Every structure is written in structure tokens, then in C-alpha cells.
Amino acid sequence: MNNIDIIRDLPKLDLHCHLSGSIRPETILEIARLEGIPHHTDDLEEFKGYVQAPSECKSLKEYLQRFELTLSVMQKKEYLQRIAYELIEDVSKQNIYYLEIRFAPFFHLDGGLTFDGAVEAVLAGMEEGRRDFGVISNLILILMRHHSPQKSLEAVKQGKKFLNKGVVAIDLAGNEHDFPPQLHREAFELAREYGFHRTVHAGETGIPENIITAVKELHAERIGHGVHAYRNQEVYDFVKEKGIPLELCLTSNIQTKAIESYSAHPIKRYLEDGIVVTANTDNMTVSNTDLIQEYEKLVTEIGFSLEDLRRVILNGLEASFASEEDKDHLRRLFNEKFEIHFSK
């Protein structure tokens, strides 16, 4: 068995996967037709160009434009449930055994859904997917930087009823330059009091200092991306010494211009220096990728060994927000499968 076959066979997990960026293009097109949503073309291959970002985006803005149509088809309960279910089915084919899905409930209320209805729909699709495909999944509720601090508090309060019933954490995402993390400190303090896990998008678009702020003031346990930690020695040392896991997303980091090329990506340097790195997809549809492709790029473009991949996978398992019961199950499962390829 060659390395590519081994990569496909390895047990995997994904801690940073946006629901709105990981919808099957054919599903987007079908719902757009049903709902009379303008969708440019009925030809699927041509349509993909409107929901998948090019490998060479001109800017982050161009990348984010791909979400406009996807969000428009995620405004009904049956569609959210279907999309979540299909995502679980898709990742099961990549040997992903654990998935953390994140979505912002307030983005899905334009069609009359309530906050509770949107969350319930996604959880129903996830539970159906676990039953049919055996993939364990948990949901992370995203708070948006450009929303008011009061709206973030509202999301935490409304989300409490779903805590440990499929919802495990909150996240902060959005415009990092104009809305610093501390604006939403109160919501994260309340979430911590309730028992939510916390992750924060930080250090993705060139402000590495946001990583320290996210950890110290928002009590972040993990950092979404954090790719720019190396640009500030104090931040780099902080991440390393505190053992803060980074949710790195190779392809999207290139597309959004966070990093100029695969060869320039710091993930291998981080791993070799003892920083807790994980490898994730971010947006499978928008980035036109999956976790198998991400692992293959780690090997072919960045020089990862199979042992490096194993370390990254185990980092992800220990950094996950899975229950201890699920972690124990996954440890046994992963170790059994690793023995096949790492027995020597």
C-alpha cells in the first residue's frame, strides 16, 4: 500500500468545518431551483464556479462571496437538516470518525425559522447521520464579530438549552480587523459559566495579538486558524507554552491569502517545535477540498511523514470537544487502525 492509499485509509477527524461552506453544490442548486432563488445557471459544472472559490483568489472578499448563495438555501428546517445529514454522509466516505460542525444560527432566520428551530434542524441531521453512518459529531455555535455584544449574549443564553445535547461550544468569527475579540468578552464569560467549550477565530488575517486576547479575555481553549502566530514572538511563545491547539486549515489559508503558498505555511514548523496543531477543512465546498486532499497536501506539498500525520490526528482527538466517553471510544478505534500502518 503506497502513502496515498494509507492516507485515505487513516482514521480522521475534523475540528473546524463550517456547515455553510460545506454543502454539496448539487444540493444548493436543487434548493435554489425549488425556492426560486437566482442561481446564475442550471448547469451543475458551471454552477460550481459560483459556489467554489478559485484556487487563486484575489482576496478574502472574493472567497467570502461564495457564501452568499449557500446561505440563501439554508433558511428552512428541512433544508438545514438535509444539509447536515449529507455532510455527515460525505465525511464518512473520508474515514472521518469525528466531526465538529460550526454554524451561526442568526444567519438562518430569514425564512421565518427561530433560533431554536435552526439549531434543532442541524442537530436532527447530525443525529440521523450518526445513526446511518456511525460518525460522531458535535455542534459549535458561531457568534459573529460584527454583531452587537448583546446579540452574542442572546445566542449564548438561547443556546444553553442545547448544551451537551449535541451543542458543545461557541466560536467567534468574522471581520478580525475591525472587531477585536474583547468586544464579546461578556458572552464568552457567560458561556464559560454555563459550561460551553470555547474556540475563537484569531490570528488568521494578520493580527497575531488577537490570539492572546482570545485566550486571556475570552477563555478560548482552542484557536481557529492562528496561522500568523509566528509573526509575533510573544504570541508564538504563548501558544507553545500554554499548549493552545491551533485549528489549521491549509487550503483555505492559501485561498484567503492568509499564507502565500503551501511551502510558506508554518504548520510543519509548528508541529516540529511542539505546538499543538490540527489539520482541518474549514469549508469543503467553498475550498473544493476534503480531508483526504488536505492530508495529501501535507505530505506532497509540505513534507509531512505518515508519523507526522498520526501526531496531528492524535492532537485533534485530544483537543476535541468530544465527551470523555466518545474520546475513549475514538482512542481505541484510532489505535486499532493505526496498528495496521504503524506496526513496525
The closest of 186, 187, 180, 188 to 210, measured between CA atoms, is 180
Looking up cell 514548523 gives: 269
Distances (CA, A) of 59 to 51, 56, 236, 255, 263: 15, 9, 26, 8, 19
Residue 139, SS3?
strand
Say which of 100, 120, 176, 204 is annotated catalytic.
204
Burial 85-100 (b: 16+ CB within 10 A, else e): bbbbbbbbebbbbbbb
Residues 6+ apart with CB under 8 A from 329: 136
CB atoms within 10 A of CB 228: 23
Residues 6+ apart with CB under 8 A from 2: none
Looking up cell 442541524 gives: 122
Looking up cell 486532499 gives: 293
Any catalytic annotation for residue 204?
A: yes
Q: Which three cell numbers stand for residue 226?
A: 492562528
Residue 273's identity, in one-letter code, is: D
For the annotated catalytic residues, the residue numbers are 204
